[in-house]
Amino acid sequence: MDDSERPIGGNADQEPASPCDTTTPCHDSASSLPFKTATGGTLRRQRTIRSAVETGGIGFLTGADVSIRFLPAPENHGIVFRRTDCPGSEPIPARIEFTVPRQRRTAIEHRGVAVEMVEHVMAALAGLQIDNCLVELNAPEPPGADGSSLLFVNALLQTDIVAQNAPRPLLVVNHRCRITDDRAGAELIAEPLRRSALAITYHLDYGTRSPIPPQNLTVEITRESFTRELAFARTFILESDVAALRAQGYGLRTTARDLLVYGPEGVIDNRLRAEDECVRHKILDCVGDFALLGCDIHGHFRACRSGHRLNREIVHRLASSCPCFGNSPQRDAA
């Protein structure tokens, strides 16, 4: 949830070739592990948590007191959410085909039951390379905490993260893919990277009249870089937008001390954890939204003023170009 999301129309353009290459494991004659990719790299093993952990807090949107519980899950389970406050409801896979349109956030839905603002939970799980996990919560959204992923990272690190036998699927971007939103002056580009890694570059610039200064950052995503450079970065919003959100019933129990609120002179009633905390949060959001692919990604993503909407669009584009996503269950309409 951030200031860059607007209800705007976009357009997309792409190179004619498929923008990605999916790799599947093959047997290594020397050993069944590690697995090899088609390009000679190594597919890592899937991971889950050893035991259940729980935390809680106040929901940003509803103001509800929320408990969230992370449970171990078997191989190839993926990240799945379950609403315990909706008895009889089916689990909701955290996959791109289950996302529903929202402003300023990412939400998933199945058979009329939704979970709002999943991006910070997804970022924590993806950043720690936890691939299989059941996430239970007793409200329509996770705890907002301070608008970062720290609450969830700290909870997950209370237990061990354990390797499983199955290989983690990998998507390698091998052609340029570009999504644009001309009205917002936003774009998001996925392109090949010469090394086997996921790198995200974000250019944040809301213009000379914005109290948020321009910021640029590139982070190569690893467990270490995520916990050290991104997990602490909080949601930010303009003071002028707060009243409008509260008029819609959002954020009634949230104050400027709970996240970053920018007035004309800068941050209100709070302190930055880093001078470029805003751009770090934008990259954190990318990590969470890109995790909706349900696989590792190798490539370089370059974003300019993009938000959750463009993030989801490029994930849709990559998923639709890859045959291995063709057998995913489809989200039922509400």
The structure tokens listed for 175 are 């052609």
CA dist list (Å): 16 to 149, 175, 180: 37, 9, 16
- The single-letter code of the amino acid at 179 is I
Cβ neighbours of 9 (radius 10 Å) = 8
In whole angstroms, what is the distance from residue 97 CA to residue 78 CA? 14
Name the catalytic one among 120, 298, 308, 316: 308
Residue 120 is among the residues annotated as catalytic for this protein: no
Q: What is the Cα–Cα distance from 186 to 4, expressed in whole angstroms?
A: 9
Alpha helix segments (H runs only) across the chain? 119-127, 150-156, 223-225, 239-247, 277-290, 308-320
Q: What angle is formed at CA 105 by the lines to CA 193 and CA 240, rounded to 5 degrees? A: 115
Q: Which two tokens stand for residue 73?
A: 């899950």
Question: 99-137 as b/e, with b when 16 or more CB fall inside 10 Å?
Answer: beebebbbbbbbeebbbbbbbbbbbbbbbbbbbbbbbbb
Burial string for 161-177 (b: 16+ CB within 10 Å, else e) reads eeebebbbbbbbbbbeb
Which residues does the annotation mark as catalytic? 308
